[in-house]
Amino acid sequence: MDGEIGLGMVGVGSWGANLLRNFAAQEDARVRWICDVDERMLARRQRTCPGASITTSLDDVLNDPQVNAVVIATPAPEHFSCAWAALEAGKHVFVEKPLTLRACEAERLANAADCRGLKLMVGHLLRHHPVVEYVRRLIDAGELGDIRYAYTQRVNLGIVRSNENAWWSLAPHDISVICYLFDAVPERVSVQGRCFLQPGVEDLAFGMLHFADGRVAHIHVSWLDPYKIRRLTLVGTQKMLAFDDMEAAEKVRLYDKGAHIRQETTSYAEAVQVRSGDVLIPKVDLSEPLQRECRRFIQAIREDGSVLSDGWSGVEVVRILEAGSESLRRGGIAVALEEIAVRRTPQEETPALVGANQE
């Protein structure tokens, strides 16, 4: 695609403002419209892009032929209707996480984008983090050996939400990263949580992802915790790795540690041999993940390239979130992803794009 890419920003609250700032900084893109239901918010955000028009109507954005792509950062319940309308209008779409609140709706969006030849990108920000990409390269090169398990912590005191629980608010980040690093989707999901602050809204959740090859991943999310932690730990057969996103500079540590079973031993102490070697703190580029994410969306449109966090990756994350919600409802019993049915084969019927509110 040649020429300047016209953008419409839909939803410019706290996170939408960050997206607006980064997309406005793209040299070969121009924010043409800023759309939000809050008129006072619109007036403040227009100062970031003085040349952009403002509106409270999504139709104004979609009816502009100079708008090539729409960036959606509305509340999650509105993601499907806004993205569906944008795809129907022939626009490329960037949607903040989660893609939708139902896997069947996420699948419809992914199929619609494929059928229209449009880019659909989900705001799984951590997939674009330089450290996560570095870790993926280590795994692909066999530096860690075979990954045995992973665990994540994403906790803080606040922000407490009433319209979604900690599982839906915080876990999408870690689910997306784990599936990316494992290069797989779990078979089963089990989640336990507690509602300490508000009835029916879990502010604490412990989730377990069970993979077909025996690997597991544990996710701890909470907005009722004395610490602010953003941490990922990977344990491999050769080495172990810790990624602490709260560290200013030394975000990743690679541990030359491991344990293996020795055969033909006479005691348990002799059977397990523990190895403890050096700890490496590699130098990793720490460019802003959001800036990289926004740039890649523009590049994918311009070059007709692939999207790292595409619609189908968004579908899988929503399926896992839905399975986790069902597990919560069942008191922590594991739920198979196949219970969250989603069509993937191109031979199956894809709904026609006939309207934003069409079910």
What percent of the chain stands above pLDDT 70? 90
329 belongs to a structural domain: no
Q: What is the pLDDT of residues 119-159, one digit of tens each?
A: 999 999 999 999 999 999 999 999 999 999 999 999 999 88
What separation, in Å, do the N-terminal and C-terminal C-alpha atoms of the chain show?
32
- CATH number of the domain bearing residue 161: 3.30.360.10
114 belongs to a structural domain: yes
Tokens of 320: 């896992």
pLDDT band at 272 (very low <50, low <70, confident <90, very high): low
Do 38 and 113 reside in the same domain of the chain?
Answer: yes
Do 115 and 215 reside in the same domain of the chain?
Answer: no
Do 92 and 26 reside in the same domain of the chain?
Answer: yes
- Check pLDDT > 70 for residue 351: no
pTM confidence score: 0.90
pLDDT band at 349 (very low <50, low <70, confident <90, very high): very low
Do 138 and 250 reside in the same domain of the chain?
Answer: yes
- CATH number of the domain bearing residue 94: 3.40.50.720
277 belongs to a structural domain: yes
Do 157 and 275 reside in the same domain of the chain?
Answer: yes
Q: What is the pLDDT of residues 191-218, one digit of tens each?
A: 999 999 999 999 999 999 999 999 999 9
Structural domain count, the chain: 2
Do 131 and 272 reside in the same domain of the chain?
Answer: yes
Do 134 and 63 reside in the same domain of the chain?
Answer: no
Do 137 and 269 reside in the same domain of the chain?
Answer: yes
137 belongs to a structural domain: yes
Tokens of 30: 């121009």
For residue 189, give its domain range.
127-286
Do 116 and 221 reside in the same domain of the chain?
Answer: no
